[in-house]
A and B are shown apart, each in its own frame.
Chain A
């Protein structure tokens, strides 16, 4: 069976011939599109390492069939920075030492970007912690992660205000 889908991945439209409907979005990115920044930690929706944005929403790419996402826009960690300029979430993660081994980090960052877009947590650290709880970090960098999300959110808000002014 050959199935052709179109996906916009990191702002680049692509037509992808899939020889197998079993391919998940995660395995498509990692094994077929050479976008290995997105990580596979559990492959079962239980760790969040594979988090990407699909049509602007954070999801576990391990539990999405690529074929079913025909027409979607996908944003991965590789597409987040604007050229050499890191996204505020990326910068804040470095500054707050919000990772150690770095394996969960792309998922944490994409989840944080999704969280900020959702605009439900506000500046309440407890809401940020809850909303980031779908991303496990075995190294235990949670304190830095929460701080980084809050700071990046403030910066993005300030940038937006500046732009509006």
Chain B
């Protein structure tokens, strides 16, 4: 780990001012940042520690029925907040399917949004990576890439965003509150992460020094609480990143789908909301046929970036699964294995 200046501002304004200096990075829990620094992937000259900045760790109910989540709220505190989990169960399920209990106890909401890809070539300073070093090239493109992106990738970068949390957040229309030297602004999460294009080193719309202070879910997002799930495919039962994941939220009226919210994880450089598929479902009767049509629509633009064509069909199937489970209704209590295909799902039958 490189040497760095350590500053511990006492207010958001101080933090933003401190981070304006080039080479600065914000430190929240550090669960991703320190990992990257130990690997020599990130070498910030200055860490701006948010530990003492007030006002970042509240979960507040909003008048519209929504919620405002401070950027430093810990993943586990949010997932286990009874009010939050009841209103946004797919978000809680996604949170609890991520990482480990220890990491969730430390990792923060803001940090989760900003976590970096797990692409091994990004993590390996000896490999060429346009994300790590603009213009260096991409060794993943012809490398070991069976888990890489199938949507939204470019020749310059085929990495995926690893977050679980962001997948239901983006589906539910979350908004990111950002503070910078120019003041406060808001960006829908859907527009927060950038696709790689020719500038994969720019991963979000944050300007240098800008700070996420909160994430907001609108009140209408709670309208999906009765039919909201997150499903995550992994190569071991727990403590693994998603091969692919999906969330589905449904608002049913008179047995038909009044509104659907769908997003995929592990398929692109950002949490991938699929409005085309949501549109397919509007007014449809929930069922295998409609779900499959939605899945086809969701992956219509997908193409393999390497040895990963299987992820396209897998993404369709996991979307169908998420829809099937969501249609059956959110369980009273999250399953023992959150988001796992191996969690029991009484009342839902899988036809093979």
Which residues of A are interface residues toward B (Cβ below 8 A)? 1, 3, 20-22, 24, 43-45, 48, 51, 57-60, 62-65, 67-70, 111, 114-115, 118, 120, 124, 126-127, 129-135
Most buried by B among A24, A43, A63: A63
Chain B residues with Cβ below 8 Å from A111 are 101-102
Q: Contact between A134 and B30 (Cβ–Cβ < 8 Å)?
A: no
Interface size on B, residues (CB 8 A): 32
Chain A residues with CB under 8 A of B237:
130, 133
Distance between A141 CB and nearest chain B CB, rounded to angstroms: 16
Q: Knowing A43-B38, A63-B30, A120-B80 are in contact, say whether A22-B1 is a contact too (CB < 8 A).
A: yes
Decide if B101 touches A127 in the complex (CB within 8 Å): no
Q: Which residues does chain B contribute within 8 Å of A65, judged by CB atoms?
A: 27, 30, 34, 47, 49
A-side contacts of B1, CB under 8 Å: 22
- Cβ B31 vs Cβ A60 within 8 A: yes
Which residues of the other chain, B, contact A51 by a CB distance below 8 angstroms? 102
Contacts of B47 in A (CB 8 A): 21, 65
Contact A68 B101 (CB under 8 A): no
Instruction: List 23 contacting pairs A-B, 8 Å CB cutoff, sorted by A.
Output: A3-B6, A21-B4, A22-B1, A22-B4, A43-B38, A44-B38, A44-B39, A45-B102, A58-B105, A59-B103, A63-B35, A64-B29, A65-B49, A68-B8, A111-B101, A114-B101, A115-B101, A118-B76, A118-B101, A127-B336, A133-B238, A134-B102, A134-B239
The residue from B51, B76, B336 contacting A130, defined by CB atoms under 8 A apart: B336
Q: Does B128 contact A (CB under 8 A)?
A: no
Cα A45 to Cα B76 with chains together (Å): 16
Looking at the assembled complex, report how far the CB atom of A133 sits from the nearest CB atom of chain B, in whole angstroms.
Answer: 4
Q: Tell me whether B336 and A134 are in contact (CB under 8 A).
A: no
The A contact surface, by secondary structure, is mixed
Within 8 Å CB of B34, what residues of A?
Answer: 24, 62-65
State whether B6 touches A1 (Cβ < 8 A): yes
Instruction: Give the residue of A68, A126, A135 whose beta carbon is less than 8 angstroms from that of B27.
Output: A68
Other A-B contacts than A48-B102, A60-B102, A132-B101, 14 sampled, CB-CB below 8 A, are A1-B5, A3-B6, A57-B105, A59-B103, A63-B35, A63-B103, A64-B106, A65-B27, A114-B105, A120-B80, A126-B337, A127-B336, A131-B101, A134-B103
With a CB–CB cut-off of 8 A, which chain A residues contact B99?
A: 45, 134
Q: How far is the CA of A103 from the CA of B201 in the complex (A)?
A: 39
